[in-house]
Amino acid sequence: MSDFKKNPSKLTQLTASLQDPEEILKALGSEARQPRPELSTAYVAPRTQEERTVAEIWARLLGVERVGVNDDFFELGGHSMLAMQLISRLRDDFQVELPVKVLFTTSAFTVAELVRVIDQYCIQEADESAMLKLMDEIDSLSDEEVQALLAAEDQ
């Protein structure tokens, strides 16, 4: 950021050309992260790819060097506005639509708990998708085909 202090017009040009706040922060070099603060839980490294992905999203959003699976989002400095950004990032990375209330109704808002919730929603969405596909297949059958399938099922 020292380059921008020396040349404030460069900063003005940069921020005017970028529309997304995240792009501005990256361009300013604010990707530098703070060490993990002292928390009530010991650091436990992410064990799965999903946990690593969620922990990295949190680290970027919160500006923390590392996030453990048992770290609480709010203890790390998270708040409701960051939670909204988190929902958006999770949608992009996991292709899952989580309601915001999920983040505030879990027993502990940790990486491990969030991954568990994401898994539940992914399974639920997959089940719904499979059910809709099956219903479409049934709708495309003639009455005779349905009768034949039901008769075969009875035997």
Kindly state the tokens that stand for 149. 């399938």
Q: From first to last of the 155 residues of the chain, give the pLDDT tens digit.
A: 445 555 566 556 655 666 666 666 555 555 568 889 888 899 999 999 999 999 999 999 999 999 999 999 989 999 889 989 999 999 999 888 888 888 777 767 899 999 998 888 878 776 666 676 777 777 787 888 878 878 887 77
> What global pTM score does this model have?
0.62
| CA distances, 9 to each of 66, 83, 86, 139 (Å) | 34, 33, 32, 64
Is residue 119 a contact partner of residue 50, using CB atoms and an 8 Å limit?
yes
- Given a contact cutoff of 8 angstroms between Cβ atoms, the answer to whether 54 and 64 are in contact is no
44-154 CATH fold = 1.10.1200
Start-end of CATH 1.10.1200.10 domains in the chain: 44-154
